[in-house]
Structures are given as structure tokens and as C-alpha cells.
């Protein structure tokens, strides 16, 4: 059996070298096409960058518990679980993974098992006659109180939609085009060597077959050893190179059009986002926050609140993002000055906002109102004598 496997592997390697087929992902496909799946979708740099920008905002948010009056509930057990969901993920990793899965697959299944939080895969869902959703994993039913079905809603109430469904054709085309260019230049633009013979190839000619195989073996070793080969050839033999027929301009023109479309499936106009990123990074982050991140936050808050507290509780999970992180430092300084002088907050709070240490003195913790401010409608008229 070992000899058979070794022989099979040898044949596979030789076939791969000859360019007969190429192994990709979980199947074998011809000539460099790409099938999209969870494992390779992030190989597209544009998809990876957009998803990073979105999921990083959620990962950097602060998660709190609020009551029905909007008051923060400190040290709730749900917060401990969200900070340390399980033995293999941190809280930030969990939120990032949850967001990426939600964006790609259009749905994600958080499972609460006592004080541990997991993301379930291969979940089968169905509605019974009373329109109650049931969940099964590996044939075993999971109680509805332990699991939530978080969906990126399209037009189907049973399933969400993600990039892998909405942009599948576009994404496969883009990834194939990227792979074609990458493969072309990873081989220096060379597609194959051609061995030209003036004579007819005769399999019965042992000397000719031996020479051809020797030359082919030498050529195959060029890519592996990265060395210069000296290949002696007799009269009537010539080695030529076949360059890749890929048209760079057409491929790049295709990518310039369709790579931008991928952002639309994530809710982003890539042209607008790119222009804002170049001109004002903070505005770009605010654009991303309002267009994509806030709806995801609301959906996650709804489902995690139901998962932890049930439908009858007055407690709610909230994601908090400091919007001032998206403004330039000079503007943040002006905001800090104005919210102190108008009595909104104390100097210590503004110092913390501007990354300065708090002074923790009675003066820096006091609330001030500027002398030039008065109640609207009660301004005094100046009398000129």
C-alpha cells in the first residue's frame, strides 16, 4: 500500500508539473480558476481590508449592560462571559469572528452554554407548525433558549444573506483574475518550455525517448532548485519558451470595475470610502460606522440580549463606540473645551478623552459654566448713557 501511495503521489506530482491540472481548495479544477469558500475568501486583499475595517470597529467597542432606564449595570455576569467567552477565544476575538462570519455567510449562531459562549457551525434550522424555530446540530436538537439565529436580512425570513451568496459570481471572477496575474508573475511570465525537434517523435526510438525525458527532467528542476541548468542538445533539438497569453491590461481593467462591486455587497460604496480615506480618515471611519457598523451593532445587541436575558427582562446588551475616536485631535480639543465651559462635563473627563491623566482634584472634577453664557430668552439689554 505504501508503494502504491508513493507511486500515486509521484504521478500526481508529475501531472501537476506538466500543467495537466491544479489542486485548489477542496477540489481539483483546471487552469487556475477559483471556487469561493470560507478558507480562501480573505485571500482577496480588498475583501480582507473592508472586512477588517468593519469587524475592527465592533471588536474595539465597549460592551455594557443597561437597564430599561439606560443606567449601566456594573459587573454583570453576562459581561464576564462576553469578556472570556470560552477557552479558545478572547472576547475581542469572539466579536471579530462573529462579525466576519455574519458578513460572509449572512448568518451566525451564538450558543450560550452556562457561562460559556460559542459560535455554532453546521446548524440546521426549521419552523414548526406554530412558527417556532428549532435548531439541530449533528441531528441533536439544541434548546431555543441556548442559541440565537443572527441574520443579515434580505428577503427571506428563514435565512440571512452574506457576501458569499450575494457576490459569489463577482467574487469568483475577481479571485480568478487575481490568481491568474499572481501565477503569471510568480513564474516570471513563463507558461512552459517547448522542446522542438526537427524529426518526428517516435516512441519506439529508445535513444530519442531517453534524450527527451532527460531534457524534460532538467527543465522541471529549474523552478525547484532556482539554479542555472546546462542542457546539452544534439542537432535538430531546440528549447524555446512559451510566455503567458494573459493580457494584463484587460485583466486589470476587469479588476478595476468588479473589485469595487464587492464593497456594495457589504453595504459600502468603495469609491466614496476610498476618497474619504485619502482625504480624511476620520470621516471615512464615520461613513463606515453609519453605513455598516451601526446596523450590525443593533442586530447583535438584540440577539445577545435575548440570549442572555430572555424576552421578558428589562436588561439589554449594548455596544458602545466612542464617536470622538473618529475626529481629528484638533477638533476633539475644541469639543473638549466647549463641553467643559457649557457645564456638560468636568475637566478630568475631558483630560481622559484627550489621553491625559486625570488630576483627581476637587477643581478638576467640578462642573463649570462660562460667565459669557446665559439662559436663552433671559439676555440682559445693555443701556447706553
pLDDT on residue 21: 35
Judge whether residue 177 has pLDDT over 90: no
Name the one residue in this structure whose C-alpha cell is 479558545.
88
Per the model's pLDDT, the better-predicted residue between 12 and 233 turns out to be 233
DSSP annotation of 117 reads E
- The 10s digit of each residue's pLDDT in 229-268 is 666 666 666 666 655 555 566 666 656 665 666 777 788 8
* Residue of higher predicted confidence among 361 and 372: 361
Q: How confident is the model at residue 27 (pLDDT cuts 50, 70, 90)?
A: very low
pLDDT tens sequence across 46-77: 778 888 999 999 999 999 999 999 899 999 99
Q: Averaged over 141-168, what is the pLDDT?
A: 87
pLDDT at 172 over 80: no
Strand order through the sheet with 116-120: 116-120, 107-113, 150-151
Q: Which helix (H) or strand (E) holds 124?
A: strand 123-127
Write down the pTM of the prediction.
0.68
Q: Can you tell me the distance from the alpha carbon of 150 to that of 133, in angstroms, rounded to the nearest whole number? A: 12
DSSP class of 381: P
DSSP string, 266-331: TT--HHHHHHHHHH-HHHHHHHHIIIIIHHHHHHHHHHHHHHHH-TT-S-EEEEE--GGGGS-HHH
* Residue range 75-102, pLDDT digits in tens: 999 999 999 999 999 999 999 999 999 9
In angstroms, rounded to a whole number, what is the distance separating the alpha carbons of residues 271 and 267?
Answer: 12
Residue 49 CA: distances (Å) to CA of 8, 95, 268, 290: 40, 17, 12, 18
Q: Which of 24-38, 143-157, 160-174, 329-343 has the lowest mean pLDDT?
A: 24-38
Residue 327: pLDDT band (50, 70, 90) is confident
Span of 136-140, 306-310, 328-332 with lowest mean pLDDT: 328-332
Strand partners, 107: 151
Residue 80 contacts residue 308 (beta carbons within 8 Å) = no
Going from N- to C-terminal start, the domains of the chain cover 15-187+246-326, 190-243, 328-385
Confidence band for 7, pLDDT divided at 50, 70 and 90: very low
How much is the pLDDT for 24? 31
The rounded Cα 251 to chain-centroid distance in angstroms is: 24
pLDDT at 332 over 90: no
Q: What pLDDT score was predicted for residue 244?
A: 57
Amino acid at each position: 500500500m505504501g508503494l502504491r501511495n508513493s507511486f500515486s503521489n509521484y504521478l500526481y506530482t508529475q501531472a501537476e508539473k506538466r500543467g495537466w491540472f491544479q489542486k485548489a481548495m477542496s477540489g481539483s479544477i483546471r487552469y487556475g480558476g477559483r471556487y469561493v469558500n470560507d478558507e480562501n475568501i480573505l485571500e482577496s486583499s480588498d475583501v480582507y481590508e473592508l472586512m477588517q475595517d468593519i469587524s475592527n470597529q465592533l471588536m474595539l467597542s465597549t460592551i455594557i449592560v443597561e437597564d430599561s432606564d439606560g443606567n449601566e449595570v456594573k459587573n454583570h455576569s453576562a459581561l464576564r462571559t462576553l469578556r472570556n467567552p470560552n477557552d479558545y477565544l478572547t472576547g475581542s476575538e469572539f466579536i471579530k469572528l462573529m462579525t466576519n462570519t455574519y458578513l460572509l455567510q449572512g448568518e451566525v449562531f451564538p450558543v450560550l452554554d452556562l457561562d460559556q459562549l460559542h459560535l455554532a457551525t453546521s446548524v440546521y434550522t426549521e419552523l414548526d407548525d406554530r412558527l417556532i424555530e428549532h435548531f439541530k446540530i449533528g441531528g441533536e436538537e439544541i434548546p431555543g433558549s441556548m442559541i440565537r439565529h443572527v441574520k443579515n436580512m434580505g428577503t427571506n425570513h428563514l435565512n440571512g444573506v452574506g457576501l458569499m451568496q450575494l457576490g459569489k459570481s463577482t467574487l469568483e471572477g475577481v479571485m480568478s483574475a487575481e490568481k491568474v496575474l499572481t501565477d503569471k508573475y510568480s513564474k516570471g511570465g513563463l507558461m512552459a518550455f517547448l522542446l522542438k525537434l526537427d524529426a518526428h517523435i517516435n516512441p519506439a526510438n529508445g535513444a530519442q525517448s531517453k534524450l527527451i525525458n532527460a531534457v524534460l527532467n532538467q527543465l522541471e528542476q529549474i523552478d525547484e532548485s532556482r539554479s542555472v541548468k546546462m542542457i546539452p542538445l544534439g542537432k535538430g533539438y531546440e528549447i524555446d519558451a512559451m510566455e503567458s497569453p494573459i493580457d494584463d491590461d484587460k485583466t486589470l481593467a476587469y479588476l478595476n470595475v468588479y473589485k469595487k462591486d464587492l464593497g456594495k455587497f457589504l453595504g459600502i460604496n468603495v469609491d466614496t470610502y476610498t476618497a474619504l480615506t485619502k482625504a480624511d480618515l476620520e470621516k471615512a471611519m464615520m461613513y463606515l460606522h453609519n453605513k455598516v457598523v451601526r446596523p450590525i451593532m443593533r442586530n447583535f445587541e438584540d440577539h445577545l440580549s435575548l440570549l442572555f436575558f430572555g424576552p421578558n427582562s428589562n436588561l439589554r446588551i449594548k455596544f458602545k463606540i466612542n464617536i470622538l475616536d473618529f475626529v481629528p485631535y484638533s477638533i476633539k480639543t475644541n469639543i473638549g473645551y466647549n463641553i467643559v465651559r457649557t457645564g456638560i462635563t468636568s475637566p478630568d473627563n475631558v483630560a481622559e478623552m484627550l489621553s491625559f491623566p486625570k488630576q483627581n482634584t476637587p477643581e478638576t472634577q467640578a462642573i463649570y459654566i462660562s460667565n459669557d453664557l446665559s439662559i436663552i430668552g433671559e439676555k440682559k439689554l445693555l443701556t447706553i448713557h
